[in-house]
Chains A and B, each alone.
Chain A
Amino acid sequence: MSNVPHIVSAILAGLATTIEAAVGGIIVTIVLSLIAGLALLSPRRFVRGVARVYVEVFRGTSEAVQLFWLYFVLPVLVGFQLVPLFAGILVLGLNHGAYGAEVVRGALRSVPKAQYEGAVALNLSPTQRMVRVLLPQAFAEMLPPFNNLFIQLLKSTALLSFISAGEITERGELLRPVFGADIGWIYGTELVLYLLLAVLITTGMRALERWAGRRLGRAPVARTELDLTVGGGGAG
């Protein structure tokens, strides 16, 4: 029992890195999702093709393989090594951005066609149509799937232990050989921390959902579940 404070503080020392990886990954994911999602709907065949290749390659290969490739192979090919945390953020963002691109595409396509026609009738330019009519409505649609995607991304930060980025999971693995008798505490602390971060993401996304709903003049979505429901598949 006397080891417990030490174990908890040693794992907490990795919390900042986990949060940096998750936040960084989420930012890259949002940017890539928007770019690739819009590109998937481009009238130009070439642009669509490039986006499609990006989406299929990153959804089709395993995330751990992508991490190993970026961290171990890329330095050999280009001659410089990425900092572990940066490599991690890049892989998390590239991988989840590929899933997010489909979310953006699906949300934009779910906006009723009449809205698009109305924008054309009002003589809005293509940029105005996108920014003022289509995206605000699609945005509300995107939030629940993006919530799932961000939880998925948060869980994937554990993979960064493979390249010694110093986040929660790796801290725990460093403790395990020394505090063998207390591994219950090691993994218990880790699980609680991830759970708290997941609840934090969901709470934030739910607030965004309500805000987006209000802006569109829609009633908040009725939920049968408690507000904890998180998760969702990386399916596809």
Chain B
Amino acid sequence: MNWDWQAAADAIPLLLEGLLVTVELTLLGSALAYALGLVLALLRRARIPVLSRVAWLFIEFIRSTPLLIQVFVLYWLVPPLTGITLSAFVTGVIALGVHYATYTAEVYRAGIEAVPKGQWEAAVALNLPRSRVWTAVVLPQAIPRVLPALGNYTISMFKETPLLLAIGVLDVLNRAKEVGAETFRVVEPYTLAGVLFLLVSLPASVLVRRWERRAERV
């Protein structure tokens, strides 16, 4: 059995629908990861030891265990415990967002540590309140520097969304599976799924790399 162009053409509309779902998951998951990661990074630096300790344990635990199992926990274990049932899509966004927040937290941390010490001292000398030190002095310098690294994690997330087919999210890979089951042809849908990923992630990584180089120069 070889490549069949007709079967490939027939598969494309469904695969593109799946790609849209994958992109939506990635964008929403990224937004959550960026926000929650900053919170985790600030908690890590909190002056209350218990708080920074708990944040550290949370980060290490989430980073060392498989995303797939975290998805299962959210999807199968949280509803009976809390009475809240999440749709597969929302489960996916939360799982991706929380998982990658533990990575972005480290990125923010490095960015915050890279802010020169003199800036902190100047803020203290000016007698700025702690909240202003963060919002007016530290974060505006730290965040632009870490944006390319965050972009890299968005690309990683994009490539990890297919495992959400395990809970029935209709992403690219699940659509390919569907087409395969209906037409008994697996070569075209699975190969095209791979091609679609390449078509999105290759230009995206080229852009992020260029952006990284520009950020380094500044």
Contacts and interface: CB of A to CB of B under 8 A. Distances in A.
A-B interaction: yes
Interface of A: 56-57, 59-66, 68-69, 72-73, 76-77, 151, 155-159, 161-162, 169, 172-173, 176, 183-184, 187, 190-191, 194-195, 198-199, 228-236
B69 A194 contact: yes
Contacts of B155: 235-236
B108 interface: no
Interface stretch (B85-93, B122-130, B139-147, B192-200): B192-200
Contact of A198 (B59, B65, B190, B191): B65
A63 B159 contact: yes
A194 B65 contact: yes
B61 A195 contact: yes
Given A72-B186, A155-B65, A183-B76, 12 more contacts: A59-B201, A65-B190, A69-B190, A76-B187, A155-B67, A158-B67, A169-B68, A176-B76, A187-B77, A191-B73, A230-B64, A231-B103
Contact of B156 (A66, A172, A176, A233): A233
Nearest to B202: A60
Contact of B60 (A61, A68, A231): A231
Chain A binding site: helix, strand, loop or mixed by DSSP? helix
Interface size class of B (residues with CB under 8 A): 35 or more
A230 to B, nearest CB: 5
A3 B73 CA distance: 19
A69 B194 contact: yes
Contact of B194 (A61, A229, A233): A61
B190 A62 contact: no
Contacts of B159: 60-63, 234
25 contacts: A60-B201, A62-B161, A63-B159, A64-B163, A65-B193, A68-B176, A76-B1, A76-B186, A151-B63, A155-B64, A155-B65, A155-B67, A157-B66, A158-B68, A158-B69, A169-B66, A176-B76, A184-B77, A191-B73, A199-B64, A230-B63, A231-B102, A231-B103, A233-B153, A235-B103
Contacts of A199: 64
Nearest to B63: A231
A234 B156 contact: yes
Closest 5 CB pairs of A and B: A231-B63, A235-B152, A158-B66, A198-B64, A64-B162
B113 to A, nearest CB: 10
A191 B172 CA distance: 28
B66 to A, nearest CB: 4
Contact of B166 (A62, A162, A233): A162
A187 B78 CA distance: 12
Contacts of A198: 64-65
B60 A228 contact: yes
B8 interface: no
A69 B152 CA distance: 25
A77 B191 CA distance: 12
Contacts of B59: 231
Contact of B68 (A62, A159, A183): A159
